[in-house]
C-alpha cells in the first residue's frame, strides 16, 4: 500500500465556529519514497481568514476568492487518497476539517482505519515535550529554514522526513533487485541529491553474493 503525507491550512482553528480549509497538500510515497505524484490545491474558503490564521500561513480571503471551492476538487482529492495509508501530524485537527467539508457536500467521511497520526507517535516517544513539526525538525536535525510561514506542501515534505525518523527508519526501504531500470532512474530523479546516494541496480551475481553474506555474517535487524 502506498502512503499519502497530508496537510491542510485553514481559516482558523474551529470547525464549530465555521472555519474552513483553504489549502490541501498530499504527497504520495511508496515505502516513504516520493513517487512524484502530488496533489496541491489552494481553495476559496467562502469566508474571511482570521487574523491569527493569517499570521501563521499568510493567506487572505482576497488572495483566495478566485480559487476553486472544495466541492469542485473533492472528487480529484478523494481519488488521490483512495486505498492508501494516510500520514498526518495531528490527524484529529485535519480530519475534522476534511470531514466537515465532505459533510457539506453529502460525501462520506474519511475513515480513520488507514490514518496514522505522527503526533501521537511523537508523544509516545517524547512525553512531556512539545512535539510540533518545527520542534521535531530540530530534534532530528531536519532543515526547516524555508518554513517562514506554514505551507501545506512544504509541511508534507518535512513531515515525511520527521516520520521516517520517528519510526526509526533512517532510510526508506527499497527492494532494488526487483525494480526495473526505469523505476530506479525515476527514484534517482525524485530524491533530493543532497540526501541520498545514487541508486544502482545490482547484477544477479552481486545480489546472490550479498544474500549469502547477510545470511552468514549479519545477525541483527537494521531497521
The number of domains in the chain is 2
Tell me, yes or no, whether 103 and 195 share the same domain. Answer: no
* 222 inside domain: no
Is 150 an active-site residue?
Answer: yes
Q: Are residues 190 and 118 in the same domain?
A: no
Range of the domain at 210: 176-217
Question: Per the domain annotation, does 56 fall within a domain?
Answer: yes
Do 42 and 101 share a structural domain? yes
Same domain? 91 vs 142: yes
Residue that finishes a domain, picked among 126, 143, 166: 166
Asked if 19 and 30 touch (Cβ cutoff 8 Å), the reply is no
Q: What is the CATH number of the domain that holds 127?
A: 3.30.420.10
Q: Would you give the DSSP letter of residue 9?
A: E
- Angle of helix 91-104 versus helix 70-81 axis, rounded to 10: 120
List 57, 89, 150, 196, catalytic entry: 150
Structural domain ending residue among the three candidates 130, 146, 166: 166
Q: In the chain, at which residue ranges do the beta strands (DSSP E only) sit?
A: 3-10, 21-30, 33-42, 85-88, 115-117
Question: What Cα–Cα distance (Å) separates residue 118 from each residue in 23, 161, 191, 203, 209?
Answer: 20, 11, 22, 38, 38
CB 176 within 8 A of CB 199: yes
Same domain, 189 and 162: no
Helix (H, G, I), strand (E, B) or coil at 52: helix
pLDDT for 136 beyond 50: yes
Would residue 171 count as lying in a domain?
no
Task: Determine whether 99 is exposed, middle or buried from the number of CB atoms within 10 Å of its CB (0-12, 13-18, 19+).
Answer: middle
Whether residue 116 is found in the same domain as residue 198: no
Residues 32 and 131 in one domain: yes
Residues 55 and 160 in one domain: yes
- β-partners of residue 117 are 88
Give the residue-averaged pLDDT of 29-42. Answer: 97
pLDDT tens digits along 36-63: 999 999 999 999 999 999 999 999 999 9
Pick the more confident residue, 148 or 84. Answer: 84
* Confidence grade of residue 129 (pLDDT, cut at 50, 70, 90): very high
Both 133 and 196 in one domain: the answer is: no
Asked if the structure places residue 133 within a domain, the reply is: yes
Residues 14 and 105 in one domain: yes
Do 180 and 108 share a structural domain?
A: no
Residue 16 placed within a domain: yes
Residue 72, domain member (yes or no): yes
- Answer with the one of 125, 140, 166 that is the final residue of a domain: 166
Residue 83 falls within a domain, yes or no?
Answer: yes
- What is the average per-residue pLDDT within 123-151? 93
Mean pLDDT, to the nearest integer, of 122-132?
96
Whether 99 is covered by a domain: the verdict is: yes
Task: Output the pLDDT for position 2.
Answer: 94
Reduced to 3 states (helix: H, G, I; strand: E, B; else coil), residue 105 is coil
Q: In this predicted structure, which of 3-17, 150-164, 204-218 has the lowest mean pLDDT?
A: 204-218
pLDDT at 217: 46
Q: Reduce the DSSP state of residue 167 to 3 states and report it.
A: coil
Residues 137 and 183 in one domain: no
Q: What is the pLDDT of residues 88-107, one digit of tens each?
A: 999 999 999 999 999 999 99
Closest CA to 88 of 133, 56, 134: 133
- In angstroms, the CA 77 to CA 87 distance is 15
Q: Are 87 and 163 in contact (CB under 8 A)?
A: yes
The predicted-structure confidence for 185-199, as pLDDT tens digits, reads as follows 655 555 555 455 555
| 3-class secondary structure, 185 | helix
Amino acid at each position: 500500500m502506498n502512503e499519502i503525507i497530508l496537510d491542510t491550512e485553514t481559516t482558523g482553528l474551529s470547525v464549530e465556529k465555521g472555519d474552513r480549509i483553504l489549502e490541501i497538500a498530499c504527497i504520495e510515497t511508496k515505502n516513504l519514497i516520493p513517487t512524484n505524484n502530488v496533489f496541491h490545491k489552494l481553495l476559496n474558503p467562502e469566508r474571511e481568514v482570521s487574523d491569527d490564521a493569517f499570521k501563521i500561513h499568510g493567506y487572505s480571503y482576497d488572495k483566495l476568492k478566485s480559487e476553486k471551492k472544495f466541492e469542485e476538487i473533492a472528487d480529484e482529492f478523494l481519488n488521490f487518497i483512495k486505498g492508501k495509508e494516510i500520514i498526518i501530524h495531528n490527524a484529529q485537527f485535519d480530519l475534522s476539517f476534511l470531514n466537515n467539508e465532505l459533510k457539506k457536500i453529502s460525501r462520506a467521511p474519511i475513515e480513520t482505519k488507514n490514518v496514522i497520526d505522527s503526533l501521537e507517535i511523537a508523544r509516545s516517544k517524547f512525553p512531556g515535550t512539545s512535539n510540533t513539526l518545527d520542534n521535531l525538525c530540530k530534534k532530528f536535525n531536519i532543515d526547516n529554514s524555508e518554513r517562514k510561514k506554514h505551507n501545506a506542501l512544504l509541511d508534507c515534505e518535512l513531515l515525511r522526513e520527521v516520520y521516517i525518523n520517528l519510526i526509526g527508519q533512517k532510510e526508506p526501504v527499497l527492494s532494488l533487485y526487483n525494480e526495473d531500470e526505469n523505476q530506479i532512474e525515476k527514484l534517482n530523479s525524485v530524491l533530493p541529491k543532497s540526501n541520498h546516494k545514487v541508486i544502482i541496480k545490482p547484477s544477479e551475481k552481486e545480489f546472490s553474493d550479498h544474500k549469502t553474506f547477510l545470511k552468514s555474517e549479519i545477525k541483527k535487524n537494521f531497521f
